[in-house]
Amino acid sequence: MSPTLRSQLMGVSAFGSLAIAGVLLGGDDGLEGRKYVAYYDVVNVLTVCDGHTGKDIIPSKKYSDAECDALLQQDLAPVQRIVDAAVKIPLSQYQKAALYSFTYNVGRHAFIRSTLLKKLNTGDIKGACDELRRWIYADGQSWKGLQNRREIERELCLTD
């Protein structure tokens, strides 16, 4: 994790795990890599801003920072509910933020069925965090960007 990102995450830590996840994912330096105009991602899904997908995307529109921030908050709210409901043990706000980021990226069904969640709920936090390293594939290919993302999420996941 870069010193800049670490500093930004520490700066919002007083505002809780959702704020940490927002900084982790959003903006030009976020893990999602903010794009103001819609594009097709590596698995051919129409995407804009910080990984937002859905039928509400206007392909030719240039989105503003405020619109991207609003979409990210809108998208993270259900992720937070899913993760918080599925996890049965207490976690630090950094651990929760890592799981929000992961779930935002892989989707709720993948998270709910994951070995990561099973290990987490048995109290094997290190084992669960190590599982993040397995989630580096998209469309059957290993991606360097996903490897980097999972290492950052793992580092946060291992933070008390």
Q: Show which residues are catalytic.
A: 32, 41
Tell me the C-alpha distance between 24 and 17, whole Å. Answer: 10
Backbone angles phi and psi of 47, in degrees to 5: -140, 150
Tell me the C-alpha distance between 42 and 99, whole Å. Answer: 22
Structure tokens at 123: 């109290």
How far is C-alpha 73 from the chain's CA centre?
Answer: 12
